[in-house]
């Protein structure tokens, strides 16, 4: 798939010799709105950019890249997590309910995300599995930002994508796409 690129202001060139082994799911902490992926990518690129970035921003219709995969996004600063991960920002909030994660907007966004994550798992030889917080430091797989917080025991850290994120269904969608794409 052809993905537009809006270069983030803040990132680190390269990965410091580290191999990509994690895919980290984040939430933008904004409403589910049209063109939110482009808006957040433009925010990462703008004059008022935060000291943060992500490789991809996704809404219900679009995926926008903000940091090249060969470079390090400033998404979760614990340990080597930034250098060993691809970070994906989803429109929505960590506080979303199960119903909100299953609405039409989120369903479309999670379909787009599952396809991208499957492609990334194939490209970087990442297993299609959800890691526990205890596996974040040494494992390879798919995690939420909350897993970094818990795995590194960060007080008051990030909780996204939230306790109601549909991990089981999401991993199943990634696996289905992985199989369709011929993953091994």
Asked whether the beta carbons of 58 and 109 are under 8 A apart, the reply is yes
Write out pLDDT tens, residues 122-132.
Answer: 999 999 999 99
Burial class (CB in 10 A: 0-12, 13-18, 19+), 73: buried
Asked if the model's pLDDT at residue 183 lies above 90, the reply is no
- Hey, is 24 helix, strand or coil? strand
pLDDT (average), residues 91-120: 97
Does the pLDDT at position 56 exceed 70?
yes
Q: Considering the chain, what is the average pLDDT of its residues?
A: 95
Residue 70's pLDDT is 98
Give pTM, 2 decimals.
Answer: 0.96
For residues 2 and 82, give the distance between their C-alpha atoms in angstroms, rounded to a whole number: 24
Say whether pLDDT at 184 is over 90. no
If pLDDT is split at 50, 70 and 90, which confidence band does 154 have? confident
Domains of the chain: 11-180 (3.40.80.10)
For residue 25, give both structure tokens: 């799911």
Q: Express each pLDDT in 130-146 by its tens digit.
A: 999 999 999 999 999 99
Two structure tokens written together for 123: 């490209």
pLDDT of 157 above 90: no
pLDDT at 1: 64
- Band (pLDDT 50/70/90 cuts) for residue 88 is very high
* pLDDT tens digit sequence for 22-34: 999 999 999 999 9
């Amino acid at each position: 798939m052809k993905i537009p690129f809006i270069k983030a202001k803040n990132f680190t060139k390269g990965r410091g010799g580290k191999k990509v082994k994690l895919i980290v799911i984040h939430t933008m902490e904004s409403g589910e709105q049209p063109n939110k992926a482009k808006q957040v990518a433009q925010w990462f690129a703008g004059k008022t950019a935060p000291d943060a970035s992500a490789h991809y921003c996704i809404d219900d219709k679009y995926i926008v890249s903000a940091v090249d995969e060969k470079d390090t996004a400033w998404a979760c600063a614990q340990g080597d997590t930034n250098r060993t991960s691809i970070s994906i920002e989803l429109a929505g909030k960590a506080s979303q309910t199960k119903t909100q994660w299953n609405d039409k907007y989120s369903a479309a966004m999670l379909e787009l995300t599952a396809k991208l994550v499957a492609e990334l798992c194939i490209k970087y030889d990442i297993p299609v599995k959800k890691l526990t917080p205890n596996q974040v430091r040494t494992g390879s797989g798919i995690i939420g930002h909350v897993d970094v917080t818990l795995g590194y025991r960060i007080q008051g850290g990030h909780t996204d994508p939230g306790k109601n994120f549909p991990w089981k269904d999401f991993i199943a969608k990634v696996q289905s796409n992985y199989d369709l794409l011929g993953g091994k």
